[in-house]
Structure 1
Amino acid sequence: MHNHVTVGSKGSDSRQDGAKVRDVTFDFAKGVLIILVIVGHLLQYVIYSGTEDYWLSPYFKAIYMFHMPLFMAISGYLSSRAILRKSFSQGVIDRAVQLVLPMFFWCALIWLSKAALMTSADSLSGVMLDFFGEFIGTYWFLWAAFASFCAIKLLTSFNGLSLWIVGASAIAVAFAPVPWSIAPLVRYTYPFYCLGFLFAQPIGWQAARRHKAVFVVFLSMVAFMCFLVWGRETYVYNNLVLIYDGESARQVLLMFIGSVATSAVAMQLMFLCWRVGHLTRVARFIAVELGQSTLLLYLLQGAVFRFMDLIGFGELWDLPSRIGFATLLGAAIVVSAIIIRRIARDHGWLSRGYA
């Protein structure tokens, strides 16, 4: 992950913002990942709607092994500058404006839409509880990113840049026995945020880069073996990162090892794709239109999929029909996000992705 295209390198694009330079390579990676987020939800809510067969889908498995962990690692990597250079209060306020404020806005839209459908049997207190449920659960990844930023910022504020403390916190958080609400998802992704942050530090990764090819081959083999034995209980949604016997320990360990290996291999593949195809319209579209709008796309698709239960996918919805509907829905989400972004260019908190 540390091997990224820098300013002036072939295939790079930059935007000057003081001393900050935007690396479009990471925009391309984020664009690919947000596509995978949408595809994963289409598999769950459309293709396999009404069943739980998506746990057994090789496509669902291939996506969920790495897409959110890698997203979190990239977020930690790109947040390193803000963590180290801003004061604690300023950093937390800026991150809250970037993540929590738009999340509140979109959750309010979801709640208002549901409130409009409220029947006379629904109580106001029940609707309010539903709003808090939406606010916490719908966009759990943003809470995880915000909490991870605050945690590392706090650690580095009191202890300076102590890499050992950051690494120890990743282990402590990952294995803390807290199974409630979205805590397991935060515990699962926080170590990847720490990894991304650590890879942004100049602590001798150059030595490892000399043997990058060997590492990629080894990690590819590990990722493939983990893919073969990955099962329903390997997902964080089911094992909750809890260890209480030998089998649960095996599943949790498999989850972390598989996610690390697959994320590393996927990131290298994305770097390669960008180096090869950075001049193509498709690559530029993914990087600029999608990669720089990941927050908006994540918020929009989250709102859309909250209403999928209202669509009855009965027997008349055969597989070709579901695939066709999923394709149209995915395209509609992307097009809608692009339109919203262009209309709301003056509202950066609504249209920008992770910085």
Structure 2
Amino acid sequence: MIEVNKTRNSQIDFVKGILIWLVVLGHTLQYIKHGGDREFFSDTTFSFIYLFHMPLFMAVSGYLLKPVGHGGLVPLIKRRGAQIVVPMLVWVLITFVMQIVMDLFSNSFDSLALTKILVISLVSQYWFLWAVFLSTIFLYILGRAGRYEWFAATLLSMILVLLPLHQVPAAALTLVMLSFVFPFFLAGHAFARFDEILKRIMKSSYFFAVEILAWLVTLALWILWKPGYYSYLNLLDFVEEPYSVSILFTGGVFSSVAVALGIRRLYPFLAGTSFAAWIEDLGRKSLSIYLTQTFVFVVIARYLSSGWPNMGSVIGLLTSFAFSIGLVLALQLLTSFGSAKFNPVLFGAKAR
């Protein structure tokens, strides 16, 4: 069966910490610097972050799942559901209740509109967590294919990309993003399977050329990046937008490799410092921070960003950096409190 690897890896926690901060920074650029305006799609900092942060996050998620034991699918669903689906639904409910209260105070209560908001929130507000949950289920099912597991996995990845999932009502965003990040989840899982072999390859004197190539391709794609390359805009419609979708996946692969290897080289210099310890703690709390930061930005998007003036490039970037760091610090502190009884419901149960 598929289970979370229990052995903590400080370097992996460091990677996760960097990535969760970049998730917060990306949302800050979107809603603080650009006030929710679609101009953020042309923001160069945002485009660099977008190239790799979710693909690499999914690869790390896949890496931390290892095949052990002989349990069944239902126990797996229960465990993963308790870990990520339950708190996700709780935060959706909190958001929905807040929406009702705000509508009542503003005399704009509309039951039909609220129902639509609830449905969309349930299936799209935490699309990344749905992607992790469904990818875990897919991976377990694919494991039943035995020696044909990787052939079946490749086939499923291709089918997901080719299906017109962007046309599915309400769930389009989650399904599109699942199609995008699922291959990276599989890649991370494959790396875990062949970890020792990969470590030997990375020690090769020729492997440095791979890093250089990855960075060159990443920088080239970053310079050439256009809004149409975002999955949010091309909707992974490979039939209508084959070039844009191909660029999207190419960027995800090369930039994820470049950044992962870059952090791998950087970490030994920072290990043991207070900065590294702080980032590692962010990584250990990445699920909790993701849950709460999504709620924060939903509130900002719905109630605070309307009419928010766009900031200049330098001021907006500096403000975004400061706001994102302050927010992750606040959420890190918030998720440190609470009780053993309620914390798993709000911030995610620890994997067992």
Farther off after superposition, 156-165 or 138-147: 156-165
Q: How does 1:39-188 map to 2 (within 5 A)?
A: 39-81=25-67, 86-119=71-104, 120-159=107-146, 162-179=149-166, 180=168, 181-182=172-173, 183-188=175-180
For residues 20 and 144 of structure 1, do their structure 2 counterparts lie closer, same or farther at Cα, with a shift above 3 Å needed?
closer
Where do 1:225-244 residues align within 5 Å?
A: 225-244=220-239
CA displacement at 1:164 relative to structure 2: 2.6
Which digits, 9 at most, give the CA deviation of each residue in 1:161-184, with x for residues without a partner?
A: 722322332232233222132211
The answer as to whether partners of 2:87 and 2:344 remain within 8 angstroms in 1 is no
Matched, 1:330 2:315: no
- Matches of 1:261 and 1:41 in 2, distance apart? 23
Q: TM-score, normalised by structure 2?
A: 0.86
Letter in 2 for 1:89: V
* Native 8 Å contact 1:31 1:294 kept in 2: yes
Structure 2 residue ranges without an equivalent (≥5): none
Given that residues 294 and 352 in structure 1 are in contact (C-alpha distance below 8 angstroms), is that contact kept between their aligned partners in structure 2? Answer: no
Distance 1:316 1:216 in 2: 40
Query: Contact between 2:221 and 2:251, CA under 8 Å: does it hold in 1?
Result: yes
* Cα displacement (A) at 1:244: 2.8
Counterpart of 2:40 in structure 1: which amino acid? Answer: Y
Name the CA distance, whole Å, in 2 between partners of 1:126 and 1:217.
51
- State the 1:151 CA deviation: 0.6
**Residues 1:74 and 1:25: Cα distance change in structure 2 (over 3 Å):** same
2:193 is paired with a residue of what secondary structure?
coil
Distance 1:353 1:34, change over 3 A: farther
In structure 2, C-alpha distance between the alignment counterparts of 1:315 and 1:136, rounded to whole Å: 28
User: What secondary structure is seen at the aligned counterpart in 2 of 1:20?
Assistant: coil
Q: Within 2, Cα distance between the matches of 1:92 and 1:121?
A: 39
Question: In 2, are the aligned partners of 1:48 and 1:54 still within 8 Å (CA)?
Answer: yes
SS across alignment from 1:171: helix
The one-letter code of the counterpart of 1:342 is S
Q: Find the counterpart in structure 2 of residue 259 from structure 1.
A: 252
Q: CA separation of 1:317/1:215 partners in 2, compared to 1, >3 Å: closer, same or farther?
A: closer
Shift, 1:79, TM fit:
1.4
- The letter of the residue matching 1:27 is D
Aligned length, in residue pairs: 334
Query: Cα deviations across residues 137-191 of structure 1 (Å, max 9, x unaligned)?
Result: 1111000111111111111034367223223322322332221322111100111
Q: Distance in 2 between matches of 1:283 and 1:110?
A: 33
User: Partners in 2 of 1:165 and 1:262 — Cα distance?
Assistant: 26
Whole-angstrom CA distance in 2 between matches of 1:107 and 1:279: 38
Say if 1:229 and 1:201 are closer, same or farther in 2 by CA, change over 3 A.
same
**1:70/1:323 Cα in 2 relative to 1: closer, same or farther (>3 Å)?**
closer
Work out which structure has the larger RCO, using CA pairs closer than 8 Å and 6 or more positions apart in sequence: 2
1:254-309 per-position Cα deviation (integer Å, ceiling 9, x unaligned): 11011100001111111122111011101111002x11110111111100111223
Structure 1's 257 and 122: CA in aligned 2 closer, same or farther, altered over 3 A?
same
Stretch deviating more after TM superposition (151-160 or 106-115): 151-160
Query: Which moved further from structure 2: 33-42 or 167-176?
Result: 167-176
Distance in 2 separating the partners of 1:323 and 1:265: 23
Please state if 1:298 is matched with 2:314.
no
- Measured in 1, the distance between the counterparts of 2:310 and 2:250 equals 38
Which residue does the alignment assign to 1:282? 275
Question: Relative to 1, partners in 2 of residues 1:294 and 1:163: Cα closer, same or farther, differing over 3 Å?
Answer: same
- Percent identity, please: 23
**Alignment gaps of 5+ in structure 1:** 1-17
TM-score (structure 1 length as normaliser): 0.86
Contact 1:297 1:333 in 2 (8 A): no
Cα distance between partner residues in 1 of 2:288 and 2:201: 35
- 1:12 aligns to what? none
Distance 2:5 2:137 in 1: 23
What code does the residue aligned with 2:179 have?
Answer: R
Going from structure 1 to structure 2, the CA distance change for 1:86 and 1:174 (only over 3 Å counts) comes to farther
On the 8 A contact 2:26/2:49 being kept in 1, the answer is yes
